[in-house]
Structure 1
Amino acid sequence: MSMDGLPPLREVIEEHGLQARKSLGQNFLLDLNLTGKIARAAGPLEDVTVLEVGPGPGGLTRALLMHGAKRVVAIERDERCLAALAEISAHYPGRLEVVSDDALKVDMAALTGGGPVKIAANLPYNIGTELLVRWLTMPNWPPFYESLTLMFQKEVAERIVAKPGSAAYGRLGVLAGWRADARILFDIPPRAFTPPPKITSSVVQLIPKADPLPADLRKLERVTEAAFGQRRKMLRQSLKSHGGEALLATVGIDATRRAETLSIEEFVSLANALGE
Protein backbone atom coordinates (compact mmCIF):
# COMPACT_ATOMS: atom_id res chain seq x y z
CA MET A 1 0.00 0.00 0.00
CA SER A 2 1.03 3.60 -0.61
CA MET A 3 1.00 6.33 2.03
CA ASP A 4 -2.65 7.14 1.20
CA GLY A 5 -3.84 3.56 1.70
CA LEU A 6 -4.37 2.93 -2.03
CA PRO A 7 -2.30 0.55 -4.21
CA PRO A 8 0.94 1.89 -5.75
CA LEU A 9 0.36 3.58 -9.12
CA ARG A 10 2.46 1.01 -10.99
CA GLU A 11 0.06 -1.71 -9.78
CA VAL A 12 -2.95 0.41 -10.74
CA ILE A 13 -1.56 0.92 -14.26
CA GLU A 14 -0.85 -2.78 -14.64
CA GLU A 15 -4.20 -3.91 -13.26
CA HIS A 16 -6.21 -1.61 -15.55
CA GLY A 17 -3.95 -1.90 -18.61
CA LEU A 18 -3.22 1.83 -18.65
CA GLN A 19 -0.18 2.07 -20.87
CA ALA A 20 0.28 5.78 -21.68
CA ARG A 21 -0.88 6.75 -25.15
CA LYS A 22 1.20 9.15 -27.21
CA SER A 23 -1.90 10.20 -29.17
CA LEU A 24 -3.38 11.57 -25.93
CA GLY A 25 -0.15 13.31 -24.89
CA GLN A 26 0.06 11.05 -21.83
CA ASN A 27 3.08 10.70 -19.54
CA PHE A 28 2.04 9.43 -16.13
CA LEU A 29 3.77 10.85 -13.05
CA LEU A 30 4.15 7.96 -10.61
CA ASP A 31 6.27 9.46 -7.83
CA LEU A 32 3.86 10.31 -4.99
CA ASN A 33 6.52 12.54 -3.41
CA LEU A 34 6.49 14.70 -6.55
CA THR A 35 2.70 14.72 -6.93
CA GLY A 36 2.58 15.71 -3.24
CA LYS A 37 5.00 18.55 -3.94
CA ILE A 38 2.69 19.85 -6.71
CA ALA A 39 -0.36 19.56 -4.45
CA ARG A 40 1.40 21.49 -1.68
CA ALA A 41 2.46 24.15 -4.19
CA ALA A 42 -1.19 24.61 -5.18
CA GLY A 43 -2.35 24.78 -1.54
CA PRO A 44 -3.89 25.48 0.88
CA LEU A 45 -6.75 23.38 -0.48
CA GLU A 46 -9.09 22.80 2.48
CA ASP A 47 -11.77 25.24 1.33
CA VAL A 48 -11.42 25.02 -2.44
CA THR A 49 -12.55 22.98 -5.41
CA VAL A 50 -9.54 21.85 -7.42
CA LEU A 51 -10.07 21.42 -11.14
CA GLU A 52 -7.72 18.83 -12.65
CA VAL A 53 -7.33 18.10 -16.38
CA GLY A 54 -6.01 14.74 -17.54
CA PRO A 55 -5.70 12.84 -14.25
CA GLY A 56 -4.83 9.56 -15.99
CA PRO A 57 -4.45 6.83 -13.33
CA GLY A 58 -4.83 9.50 -10.63
CA GLY A 59 -1.37 10.21 -9.21
CA LEU A 60 -1.93 13.94 -8.77
CA THR A 61 -5.61 13.39 -7.94
CA ARG A 62 -4.62 11.25 -4.97
CA ALA A 63 -2.07 13.83 -3.81
CA LEU A 64 -4.61 16.66 -4.00
CA LEU A 65 -7.11 14.69 -1.92
CA MET A 66 -4.46 13.50 0.52
CA HIS A 67 -3.36 17.12 1.03
CA GLY A 68 -6.85 18.14 2.01
CA ALA A 69 -8.63 19.33 -1.14
CA LYS A 70 -12.26 19.84 -0.20
CA ARG A 71 -13.32 18.60 -3.64
CA VAL A 72 -11.57 17.62 -6.86
CA VAL A 73 -13.28 17.78 -10.25
CA ALA A 74 -11.17 15.75 -12.68
CA ILE A 75 -11.76 15.88 -16.46
CA GLU A 76 -10.54 12.75 -18.26
CA ARG A 77 -11.25 11.83 -21.89
CA ASP A 78 -9.50 8.43 -21.78
CA GLU A 79 -12.22 6.01 -20.72
CA ARG A 80 -9.62 3.37 -19.79
CA CYS A 81 -8.75 5.51 -16.73
CA LEU A 82 -12.28 5.76 -15.32
CA ALA A 83 -12.19 2.51 -13.31
CA ALA A 84 -8.94 3.53 -11.57
CA LEU A 85 -10.40 6.97 -10.80
CA ALA A 86 -13.58 5.34 -9.46
CA GLU A 87 -11.45 3.46 -6.90
CA ILE A 88 -10.00 6.77 -5.68
CA SER A 89 -13.51 8.23 -5.51
CA ALA A 90 -14.64 5.31 -3.33
CA HIS A 91 -11.60 5.83 -1.05
CA TYR A 92 -12.47 9.54 -0.61
CA PRO A 93 -16.31 9.50 -0.53
CA GLY A 94 -18.02 12.62 -1.83
CA ARG A 95 -14.76 14.46 -2.62
CA LEU A 96 -13.91 13.38 -6.18
CA GLU A 97 -16.10 14.04 -9.20
CA VAL A 98 -14.85 12.56 -12.48
CA VAL A 99 -16.07 14.14 -15.72
CA SER A 100 -15.60 11.84 -18.71
CA ASP A 101 -15.15 14.40 -21.49
CA ASP A 102 -12.71 16.40 -23.61
CA ALA A 103 -11.30 19.34 -21.63
CA LEU A 104 -11.36 21.49 -24.77
CA LYS A 105 -15.13 21.06 -25.06
CA VAL A 106 -16.46 21.52 -21.52
CA ASP A 107 -17.50 24.66 -19.66
CA MET A 108 -15.06 24.42 -16.77
CA ALA A 109 -16.46 27.32 -14.78
CA ALA A 110 -19.89 25.66 -14.79
CA LEU A 111 -18.41 22.32 -13.65
CA THR A 112 -16.93 23.77 -10.49
CA GLY A 113 -20.23 25.25 -9.32
CA GLY A 114 -19.19 28.45 -7.55
CA GLY A 115 -16.95 28.92 -4.51
CA PRO A 116 -13.17 29.26 -4.65
CA VAL A 117 -11.46 27.25 -7.41
CA LYS A 118 -7.84 26.39 -8.10
CA ILE A 119 -6.67 24.60 -11.22
CA ALA A 120 -3.87 22.04 -10.79
CA ALA A 121 -2.81 19.61 -13.49
CA ASN A 122 -0.09 17.60 -15.13
CA LEU A 123 -1.47 18.75 -18.49
CA PRO A 124 -1.41 16.41 -21.50
CA TYR A 125 1.47 17.74 -23.64
CA ASN A 126 -0.64 18.06 -26.78
CA ILE A 127 -3.27 20.45 -25.36
CA GLY A 128 -1.39 22.19 -22.53
CA THR A 129 -0.61 25.47 -24.29
CA GLU A 130 -4.08 25.72 -25.84
CA LEU A 131 -5.74 25.27 -22.44
CA LEU A 132 -3.47 27.86 -20.84
CA VAL A 133 -4.27 30.41 -23.56
CA ARG A 134 -7.99 29.79 -23.02
CA TRP A 135 -7.63 30.31 -19.26
CA LEU A 136 -5.67 33.53 -19.84
CA THR A 137 -8.10 34.95 -22.41
CA MET A 138 -11.39 34.45 -20.56
CA PRO A 139 -13.77 37.32 -21.31
CA ASN A 140 -14.79 37.67 -17.65
CA TRP A 141 -11.85 38.90 -15.60
CA PRO A 142 -10.83 38.26 -12.84
CA PRO A 143 -11.54 34.65 -13.91
CA PHE A 144 -13.36 31.88 -12.04
CA TYR A 145 -10.07 30.45 -10.68
CA GLU A 146 -7.69 31.79 -8.01
CA SER A 147 -4.55 30.16 -9.35
CA LEU A 148 -3.13 27.82 -11.98
CA THR A 149 -0.49 25.26 -10.92
CA LEU A 150 0.41 23.43 -14.11
CA MET A 151 3.05 21.18 -15.54
CA PHE A 152 4.50 21.85 -19.00
CA GLN A 153 7.52 20.91 -21.03
CA LYS A 154 10.33 23.07 -19.65
CA GLU A 155 10.69 24.93 -22.95
CA VAL A 156 7.02 25.97 -22.83
CA ALA A 157 7.33 26.93 -19.16
CA GLU A 158 10.24 29.22 -20.04
CA ARG A 159 8.13 30.90 -22.73
CA ILE A 160 5.30 31.49 -20.23
CA VAL A 161 7.52 33.32 -17.72
CA ALA A 162 9.85 34.98 -20.27
CA LYS A 163 10.68 38.66 -19.89
CA PRO A 164 11.43 41.22 -22.63
CA GLY A 165 14.89 40.85 -24.15
CA SER A 166 15.12 37.08 -23.63
CA ALA A 167 15.16 34.54 -26.47
CA ALA A 168 12.07 32.78 -25.04
CA TYR A 169 9.98 35.99 -24.95
CA GLY A 170 7.08 35.87 -27.40
CA ARG A 171 3.30 35.91 -27.67
CA LEU A 172 2.81 33.50 -24.77
CA GLY A 173 5.02 35.58 -22.46
CA VAL A 174 3.15 38.77 -23.36
CA LEU A 175 -0.24 37.15 -22.76
CA ALA A 176 0.78 35.50 -19.48
CA GLY A 177 2.56 38.62 -18.22
CA TRP A 178 -0.37 40.86 -19.16
CA ARG A 179 -2.99 38.95 -17.20
CA ALA A 180 -1.07 37.02 -14.54
CA ASP A 181 2.01 36.83 -12.36
CA ALA A 182 3.80 33.68 -13.53
CA ARG A 183 6.81 31.83 -12.13
CA ILE A 184 8.47 28.45 -12.49
CA LEU A 185 8.34 26.59 -9.16
CA PHE A 186 10.52 23.54 -9.89
CA ASP A 187 11.61 21.09 -12.59
CA ILE A 188 10.73 17.41 -12.85
CA PRO A 189 13.18 15.03 -14.56
CA PRO A 190 12.11 12.61 -17.33
CA ARG A 191 12.77 9.53 -15.14
CA ALA A 192 9.85 10.50 -12.86
CA PHE A 193 7.37 9.65 -15.62
CA THR A 194 6.10 6.53 -17.30
CA PRO A 195 7.04 6.45 -20.12
CA PRO A 196 9.93 8.91 -19.58
CA PRO A 197 9.60 11.81 -22.05
CA LYS A 198 12.69 13.04 -23.87
CA ILE A 199 12.52 16.41 -22.12
CA THR A 200 12.48 17.91 -18.63
CA SER A 201 9.16 19.22 -17.32
CA SER A 202 8.50 22.27 -15.16
CA VAL A 203 5.71 23.20 -12.78
CA VAL A 204 4.50 26.77 -13.36
CA GLN A 205 2.20 28.80 -11.14
CA LEU A 206 0.11 31.67 -12.48
CA ILE A 207 -1.86 34.01 -10.22
CA PRO A 208 -4.36 36.13 -12.18
CA LYS A 209 -3.93 39.89 -11.84
CA ALA A 210 -7.05 41.48 -10.36
CA ASP A 211 -6.62 44.55 -12.54
CA PRO A 212 -4.56 43.96 -15.70
CA LEU A 213 -3.90 46.88 -18.07
CA PRO A 214 -7.07 47.51 -20.11
CA ALA A 215 -6.66 46.15 -23.64
CA ASP A 216 -8.79 44.73 -26.43
CA LEU A 217 -7.75 41.07 -26.40
CA ARG A 218 -8.28 40.57 -30.15
CA LYS A 219 -6.12 43.59 -30.98
CA LEU A 220 -3.41 42.51 -28.53
CA GLU A 221 -3.33 39.08 -30.18
CA ARG A 222 -3.16 40.65 -33.66
CA VAL A 223 -0.30 42.97 -32.80
CA THR A 224 1.78 40.31 -30.98
CA GLU A 225 1.17 37.79 -33.77
CA ALA A 226 2.42 40.27 -36.39
CA ALA A 227 5.38 41.49 -34.32
CA PHE A 228 6.66 38.05 -33.29
CA GLY A 229 5.71 36.46 -36.64
CA GLN A 230 8.73 38.31 -38.09
CA ARG A 231 10.71 38.75 -34.89
CA ARG A 232 14.06 39.29 -36.64
CA LYS A 233 12.69 42.31 -38.52
CA MET A 234 12.31 45.85 -37.26
CA LEU A 235 8.82 46.73 -36.03
CA ARG A 236 8.21 49.15 -38.91
CA GLN A 237 8.43 46.10 -41.20
CA SER A 238 6.72 43.42 -39.06
CA LEU A 239 3.81 45.77 -38.23
CA LYS A 240 3.52 47.19 -41.76
CA SER A 241 0.08 45.68 -42.35
CA HIS A 242 -1.19 47.35 -39.14
CA GLY A 243 0.10 50.83 -39.90
CA GLY A 244 3.84 50.32 -39.43
CA GLU A 245 5.71 53.55 -38.72
CA ALA A 246 2.54 55.63 -38.33
CA LEU A 247 1.17 53.26 -35.65
CA LEU A 248 4.50 53.19 -33.81
CA ALA A 249 4.78 57.00 -33.93
CA THR A 250 1.32 57.30 -32.34
CA VAL A 251 2.57 55.63 -29.17
CA GLY A 252 6.16 56.92 -29.32
CA ILE A 253 7.93 53.63 -30.06
CA ASP A 254 11.10 53.69 -32.15
CA ALA A 255 10.29 52.00 -35.49
CA THR A 256 13.72 50.33 -35.66
CA ARG A 257 13.18 48.24 -32.51
CA ARG A 258 12.36 44.54 -32.63
CA ALA A 259 9.47 42.68 -31.03
CA GLU A 260 11.45 41.02 -28.22
CA THR A 261 12.56 44.41 -26.85
CA LEU A 262 9.01 45.67 -26.21
CA SER A 263 7.54 45.59 -22.72
CA ILE A 264 4.03 44.28 -22.10
CA GLU A 265 2.93 47.88 -21.45
CA GLU A 266 4.22 48.88 -24.91
CA PHE A 267 2.38 45.99 -26.57
CA VAL A 268 -0.82 47.03 -24.78
CA SER A 269 -0.42 50.64 -25.93
CA LEU A 270 0.09 49.43 -29.52
CA ALA A 271 -3.02 47.26 -29.30
CA ASN A 272 -5.05 50.16 -27.93
CA ALA A 273 -3.84 52.42 -30.78
CA LEU A 274 -4.75 49.85 -33.44
CA GLY A 275 -7.73 50.74 -35.61
CA GLU A 276 -10.56 48.31 -36.32
Structure 2
Amino acid sequence: MTGQTQLPPLREVIAAHGLSASKALGQNFLFDEQLLARIAAIPGTLKDRPVLEVGPGPGGLTRALLRAGARVTAIEMDRRCLPALAELAEAFPGQLTVIEGDALKLDHAALFAEPWAIVANLPYNVGTALFTGWLSGEAWPPAWSSLTLMFQLEVANRIVAEPGTDAYGRLAVLAQWRSKPKLAMKVHRSAFTPPPKVMSAIVHVEPAEAPAGVSARMLERVTEAAFGQRRKMLRQSLKGLPGALDALATLGIDPARRAETLSVDEFVAVARELTA
Protein backbone atom coordinates (compact mmCIF):
# COMPACT_ATOMS: atom_id res chain seq x y z
CA MET A 1 0.00 0.00 0.00
CA THR A 2 2.44 2.60 -1.16
CA GLY A 3 1.66 6.25 -0.87
CA GLN A 4 -0.80 6.12 1.98
CA THR A 5 1.45 8.09 4.33
CA GLN A 6 1.94 10.82 1.72
CA LEU A 7 -1.75 11.61 1.34
CA PRO A 8 -2.61 15.21 2.15
CA PRO A 9 -5.47 16.00 4.55
CA LEU A 10 -8.90 15.74 2.95
CA ARG A 11 -9.57 19.45 3.40
CA GLU A 12 -6.46 20.19 1.31
CA VAL A 13 -7.60 17.75 -1.39
CA ILE A 14 -10.99 19.43 -1.61
CA ALA A 15 -9.44 22.90 -1.69
CA ALA A 16 -6.89 21.89 -4.33
CA HIS A 17 -9.64 20.60 -6.63
CA GLY A 18 -12.06 23.42 -5.87
CA LEU A 19 -14.71 20.98 -4.65
CA SER A 20 -17.85 21.75 -2.69
CA ALA A 21 -20.68 19.46 -1.66
CA SER A 22 -23.53 19.45 -4.16
CA LYS A 23 -26.97 19.80 -2.61
CA ALA A 24 -28.54 18.51 -5.82
CA LEU A 25 -26.52 15.27 -5.53
CA GLY A 26 -27.25 14.87 -1.81
CA GLN A 27 -23.58 15.21 -0.90
CA ASN A 28 -22.15 15.80 2.59
CA PHE A 29 -18.40 15.28 2.99
CA LEU A 30 -16.72 13.59 5.98
CA PHE A 31 -13.23 14.80 6.92
CA ASP A 32 -12.60 13.06 10.26
CA GLU A 33 -10.19 10.28 9.33
CA GLN A 34 -10.51 8.51 12.70
CA LEU A 35 -14.29 8.36 12.23
CA LEU A 36 -13.86 7.13 8.65
CA ALA A 37 -11.49 4.39 9.84
CA ARG A 38 -14.10 3.29 12.42
CA ILE A 39 -16.74 3.07 9.68
CA ALA A 40 -14.40 1.02 7.48
CA ALA A 41 -13.86 -1.39 10.39
CA ILE A 42 -17.58 -2.18 10.90
CA PRO A 43 -17.80 -4.98 8.27
CA GLY A 44 -14.78 -6.75 9.74
CA THR A 45 -11.44 -7.34 8.07
CA LEU A 46 -11.36 -5.98 4.52
CA LYS A 47 -7.86 -7.02 3.55
CA ASP A 48 -7.95 -8.25 -0.07
CA ARG A 49 -11.77 -8.21 -0.04
CA PRO A 50 -13.72 -6.62 -2.91
CA VAL A 51 -15.78 -3.63 -1.77
CA LEU A 52 -18.34 -1.55 -3.64
CA GLU A 53 -18.55 2.11 -2.65
CA VAL A 54 -21.29 4.34 -4.05
CA GLY A 55 -20.81 8.10 -4.11
CA PRO A 56 -17.23 8.35 -2.84
CA GLY A 57 -17.07 12.08 -3.53
CA PRO A 58 -13.52 13.31 -2.90
CA GLY A 59 -12.58 9.93 -1.38
CA GLY A 60 -12.65 10.28 2.39
CA LEU A 61 -14.20 6.90 3.11
CA THR A 62 -12.41 5.50 0.07
CA ARG A 63 -8.98 6.13 1.57
CA ALA A 64 -10.08 4.49 4.85
CA LEU A 65 -11.21 1.40 2.92
CA LEU A 66 -7.97 1.33 0.93
CA ARG A 67 -5.90 1.66 4.09
CA ALA A 68 -7.82 -1.33 5.45
CA GLY A 69 -6.55 -3.31 2.45
CA ALA A 70 -9.81 -3.48 0.48
CA ARG A 71 -10.01 -3.72 -3.29
CA VAL A 72 -12.47 -0.93 -3.93
CA THR A 73 -14.75 -0.37 -6.90
CA ALA A 74 -16.20 3.12 -6.54
CA ILE A 75 -19.14 4.47 -8.56
CA GLU A 76 -19.23 8.26 -8.83
CA MET A 77 -21.45 10.41 -11.04
CA ASP A 78 -19.96 13.78 -10.04
CA ARG A 79 -17.22 14.38 -12.59
CA ARG A 80 -15.68 17.10 -10.41
CA CYS A 81 -14.54 14.38 -7.95
CA LEU A 82 -12.82 12.14 -10.49
CA PRO A 83 -9.38 13.86 -10.40
CA ALA A 84 -9.20 13.50 -6.60
CA LEU A 85 -10.15 9.82 -6.90
CA ALA A 86 -7.55 9.34 -9.63
CA GLU A 87 -4.90 10.59 -7.20
CA LEU A 88 -6.06 7.97 -4.68
CA ALA A 89 -5.82 5.26 -7.32
CA GLU A 90 -2.20 6.28 -7.94
CA ALA A 91 -1.43 6.22 -4.21
CA PHE A 92 -2.86 2.69 -3.85
CA PRO A 93 -1.79 0.89 -7.04
CA GLY A 94 -4.16 -1.84 -8.14
CA GLN A 95 -6.59 -1.32 -5.26
CA LEU A 96 -9.05 1.24 -6.63
CA THR A 97 -11.26 1.14 -9.71
CA VAL A 98 -13.41 4.20 -10.35
CA ILE A 99 -16.52 3.99 -12.53
CA GLU A 100 -18.19 7.19 -13.66
CA GLY A 101 -21.92 6.62 -13.74
CA ASP A 102 -25.26 6.41 -11.96
CA ALA A 103 -25.28 3.57 -9.40
CA LEU A 104 -29.04 3.22 -9.78
CA LYS A 105 -28.59 2.26 -13.43
CA LEU A 106 -25.60 -0.10 -13.16
CA ASP A 107 -25.57 -3.87 -12.68
CA HIS A 108 -23.44 -4.15 -9.56
CA ALA A 109 -23.15 -7.94 -9.70
CA ALA A 110 -21.52 -7.67 -13.12
CA LEU A 111 -18.64 -5.73 -11.56
CA PHE A 112 -17.47 -8.59 -9.33
CA ALA A 113 -16.40 -12.20 -9.75
CA GLU A 114 -16.82 -13.06 -6.05
CA PRO A 115 -19.00 -11.95 -3.12
CA TRP A 116 -18.40 -8.33 -2.24
CA ALA A 117 -19.10 -6.02 0.68
CA ILE A 118 -20.87 -2.71 0.15
CA VAL A 119 -19.63 0.21 2.25
CA ALA A 120 -20.88 3.70 1.47
CA ASN A 121 -21.79 7.12 2.77
CA LEU A 122 -24.81 7.08 0.48
CA PRO A 123 -26.05 10.29 -1.12
CA TYR A 124 -29.21 11.13 0.83
CA ASN A 125 -31.40 11.48 -2.24
CA VAL A 126 -30.81 7.94 -3.56
CA GLY A 127 -29.87 6.01 -0.41
CA THR A 128 -33.22 4.32 0.21
CA ALA A 129 -33.67 3.39 -3.47
CA LEU A 130 -30.24 1.73 -3.57
CA PHE A 131 -30.84 -0.05 -0.28
CA THR A 132 -34.20 -1.52 -1.33
CA GLY A 133 -32.66 -2.56 -4.64
CA TRP A 134 -29.93 -4.54 -2.88
CA LEU A 135 -32.54 -6.24 -0.68
CA SER A 136 -35.05 -7.03 -3.42
CA GLY A 137 -35.35 -9.87 -5.91
CA GLU A 138 -36.12 -13.56 -5.61
CA ALA A 139 -32.51 -14.77 -5.63
CA TRP A 140 -31.15 -15.28 -2.10
CA PRO A 141 -28.60 -15.24 -0.57
CA PRO A 142 -27.49 -12.14 -2.46
CA ALA A 143 -24.17 -11.79 -4.24
CA TRP A 144 -23.08 -9.19 -1.68
CA SER A 145 -21.79 -10.37 1.71
CA SER A 146 -22.77 -7.34 3.81
CA LEU A 147 -24.04 -3.76 3.62
CA THR A 148 -22.51 -0.99 5.73
CA LEU A 149 -24.36 2.18 4.86
CA MET A 150 -24.75 5.75 6.09
CA PHE A 151 -28.33 7.02 6.26
CA GLN A 152 -30.20 9.84 7.87
CA LEU A 153 -30.94 8.66 11.42
CA GLU A 154 -34.67 8.68 10.70
CA VAL A 155 -34.18 6.22 7.81
CA ALA A 156 -31.80 4.07 9.85
CA ASN A 157 -34.40 3.84 12.62
CA ARG A 158 -37.02 2.76 10.08
CA ILE A 159 -34.74 -0.08 8.91
CA VAL A 160 -34.25 -1.56 12.39
CA ALA A 161 -37.69 -0.65 13.79
CA GLU A 162 -39.77 -3.10 15.80
CA PRO A 163 -43.52 -3.71 15.39
CA GLY A 164 -45.77 -1.30 17.23
CA THR A 165 -43.45 1.68 16.82
CA ASP A 166 -44.02 4.74 14.63
CA ALA A 167 -40.88 3.95 12.63
CA TYR A 168 -42.02 0.41 11.76
CA GLY A 169 -43.14 -0.01 8.17
CA ARG A 170 -42.35 -1.51 4.77
CA LEU A 171 -38.64 -0.73 5.06
CA ALA A 172 -38.33 -2.65 8.34
CA VAL A 173 -40.10 -5.73 6.94
CA LEU A 174 -38.04 -5.66 3.73
CA ALA A 175 -34.81 -5.35 5.71
CA GLN A 176 -35.62 -7.91 8.40
CA TRP A 177 -37.44 -10.81 6.75
CA ARG A 178 -34.29 -12.44 5.38
CA SER A 179 -31.40 -10.34 6.69
CA LYS A 180 -30.14 -8.98 10.00
CA PRO A 181 -29.85 -5.19 10.15
CA LYS A 182 -28.37 -3.40 13.14
CA LEU A 183 -27.69 0.23 13.93
CA ALA A 184 -23.90 0.16 14.20
CA MET A 185 -23.05 3.80 14.91
CA LYS A 186 -24.67 7.22 15.15
CA VAL A 187 -22.87 10.10 13.44
CA HIS A 188 -23.44 13.67 14.59
CA ARG A 189 -24.37 16.24 11.97
CA SER A 190 -21.30 18.30 12.94
CA ALA A 191 -19.02 15.58 11.50
CA PHE A 192 -20.07 16.56 7.96
CA THR A 193 -19.24 19.46 5.69
CA PRO A 194 -21.65 21.08 5.16
CA PRO A 195 -23.52 19.85 8.26
CA PRO A 196 -26.86 18.33 7.26
CA LYS A 197 -29.97 19.40 9.16
CA VAL A 198 -30.37 15.95 10.72
CA MET A 199 -28.34 13.29 12.51
CA SER A 200 -27.01 10.29 10.61
CA ALA A 201 -26.31 6.67 11.43
CA ILE A 202 -24.50 3.64 10.04
CA VAL A 203 -26.61 0.53 9.43
CA HIS A 204 -24.86 -2.82 9.01
CA VAL A 205 -26.80 -5.63 7.32
CA GLU A 206 -25.86 -9.28 6.88
CA PRO A 207 -27.96 -11.80 4.91
CA ALA A 208 -29.90 -14.42 6.86
CA GLU A 209 -31.65 -17.56 5.67
CA ALA A 210 -34.73 -16.77 3.62
CA PRO A 211 -38.03 -18.27 4.83
CA ALA A 212 -39.16 -21.11 2.57
CA GLY A 213 -42.10 -20.81 0.21
CA VAL A 214 -42.28 -17.02 0.09
CA SER A 215 -42.09 -14.84 -3.01
CA ALA A 216 -40.20 -11.61 -2.38
CA ARG A 217 -42.48 -9.83 -4.82
CA MET A 218 -45.58 -11.08 -2.99
CA LEU A 219 -44.21 -9.86 0.33
CA GLU A 220 -43.59 -6.47 -1.26
CA ARG A 221 -47.18 -6.39 -2.53
CA VAL A 222 -48.57 -7.28 0.90
CA THR A 223 -46.54 -4.65 2.74
CA GLU A 224 -47.23 -2.05 0.05
CA ALA A 225 -50.98 -2.56 0.48
CA ALA A 226 -50.89 -2.83 4.27
CA PHE A 227 -48.72 0.20 4.93
CA GLY A 228 -50.14 2.23 2.06
CA GLN A 229 -53.07 2.86 4.39
CA ARG A 230 -51.32 2.18 7.69
CA ARG A 231 -53.94 3.92 9.86
CA LYS A 232 -56.70 1.69 8.52
CA MET A 233 -57.55 -1.81 9.67
CA LEU A 234 -56.15 -4.68 7.63
CA ARG A 235 -59.63 -5.61 6.40
CA GLN A 236 -59.68 -2.23 4.65
CA SER A 237 -56.04 -1.87 3.55
CA LEU A 238 -55.74 -5.44 2.19
CA LYS A 239 -59.16 -5.81 0.58
CA GLY A 240 -57.78 -4.90 -2.84
CA LEU A 241 -55.19 -7.71 -2.75
CA PRO A 242 -56.85 -10.93 -3.99
CA GLY A 243 -56.86 -13.66 -1.35
CA ALA A 244 -55.35 -11.50 1.40
CA LEU A 245 -58.41 -11.45 3.68
CA ASP A 246 -58.76 -15.21 3.31
CA ALA A 247 -55.09 -15.56 4.25
CA LEU A 248 -55.68 -13.54 7.42
CA ALA A 249 -58.55 -15.84 8.33
CA THR A 250 -56.52 -18.98 7.67
CA LEU A 251 -53.70 -17.67 9.86
CA GLY A 252 -55.97 -16.43 12.64
CA ILE A 253 -54.84 -12.82 12.24
CA ASP A 254 -57.52 -10.39 13.38
CA PRO A 255 -58.48 -8.21 10.36
CA ALA A 256 -59.24 -5.36 12.79
CA ARG A 257 -55.50 -4.99 13.48
CA ARG A 258 -53.41 -2.34 11.77
CA ALA A 259 -50.28 -2.97 9.72
CA GLU A 260 -47.80 -1.64 12.29
CA THR A 261 -48.93 -4.28 14.82
CA LEU A 262 -47.99 -7.26 12.64
CA SER A 263 -44.61 -8.84 13.19
CA VAL A 264 -42.24 -9.56 10.33
CA ASP A 265 -43.04 -13.26 10.74
CA GLU A 266 -46.76 -12.55 10.38
CA PHE A 267 -46.21 -10.60 7.17
CA VAL A 268 -44.08 -13.48 5.88
CA ALA A 269 -46.87 -15.92 6.76
CA VAL A 270 -49.46 -13.89 4.84
CA ALA A 271 -47.15 -13.66 1.82
CA ARG A 272 -46.53 -17.42 2.01
CA GLU A 273 -50.29 -18.11 1.92
CA LEU A 274 -50.64 -15.90 -1.14
CA THR A 275 -47.53 -17.37 -2.82
CA ALA A 276 -48.83 -20.94 -2.65
Alignment partners' CA distance in 2, 1:4 and 1:60: 16
Alignment partners' CA distance in 2, 1:203 and 1:35: 11
Q: 1:219: Cα distance to partner?
A: 1.4
Gaps of 5+ in 2: none
2:143 paired residue number: 144
Alignment partners' CA distance in 2, 1:122 and 1:216: 30
Provide closer, same or farther for how the CA distance between residues 275 and 120 of structure 1 changes in structure 2, counting only shifts above 3 A. closer
2:107 paired residue number: 107
Query: Structure 2: which amino acid aligns with 1:28?
Result: F
Describe the SS at the equivalent of 1:139.
coil
Provide closer, same or farther for how the CA distance between residues 169 and 146 of structure 1 changes in structure 2, counting only shifts above 3 A. same
Alpha-carbon contact 2:177-2:210 (below 8 Å) kept:
no
1:256 paired residue number: 256
Describe the SS at the equivalent of 2:226.
helix
Provide closer, same or farther for how the CA distance between residues 256 and 84 of structure 1 changes in structure 2, counting only shifts above 3 A. same
Alignment partners' CA distance in 2, 1:16 and 1:265: 51
Gaps of 5+ in 1: none
> Which has the higher mean CA deviation after the structures are superposed, 231-240 or 192-201?
231-240
Alignment partners' CA distance in 2, 1:42 and 1:218: 28
1:206 paired residue number: 205
Q: 1:263: Cα distance to partner?
A: 1.1
Query: Structure 2: which amino acid aligns with 1:33?
Result: Q
Alignment partners' CA distance in 2, 1:191 and 1:266: 40
Q: 1:251: Cα distance to partner?
A: 2.0
Alignment partners' CA distance in 1, 2:86 and 2:275: 53
Provide closer, same or farther for how the CA distance between residues 204 and 275 of structure 1 changes in structure 2, counting only shifts above 3 A. closer
Q: 1:4: Cα distance to partner?
A: 3.8
> Which has the higher mean CA deviation after the structures are superposed, 204-213 or 73-82?
204-213
Alignment partners' CA distance in 1, 2:264 and 2:162: 9
Describe the SS at the equivalent of 2:240.
helix
Alignment partners' CA distance in 2, 1:100 and 1:3: 23
Query: Structure 2: which amino acid aligns with 1:145?
Result: W
Deviations 1:107-159 (A, max 9, x none): 111112x1231100000000000000000013321111110000000000000
> What percent of counterpart residues are identical?
60
Alignment partners' CA distance in 2, 1:260 and 1:4: 51
Alignment partners' CA distance in 2, 1:269 and 1:230: 20
2:29 paired residue number: 28
Provide closer, same or farther for how the CA distance between residues 201 and 213 of structure 1 changes in structure 2, counting only shifts above 3 A. farther
Number of equivalenced pairs: 273
Alpha-carbon contact 1:238-1:244 (below 8 Å) kept:
no
Query: Structure 2: which amino acid aligns with 1:229?
Result: G
1:80 paired residue number: 80
Describe the SS at the equivalent of 2:150.
strand
1:226 paired residue number: 225
Deviations 1:5-61 (A, max 9, x none): 211111111111111111101001111111100001122101310110000000000
Provide closer, same or farther for how the CA distance between residues 4 and 232 of structure 1 changes in structure 2, counting only shifts above 3 A. farther
Alignment partners' CA distance in 1, 2:51 and 2:228: 36
Alpha carbon RMSD of aligned pairs, Å?
Answer: 1.6
Deviations 1:207-235 (A, max 9, x none): 01133444112211111111111111111
Q: 1:244: Cα distance to partner?
A: 5.7
Alpha-carbon contact 1:235-1:244 (below 8 Å) kept:
no
Alignment partners' CA distance in 1, 2:244 and 2:145: 38
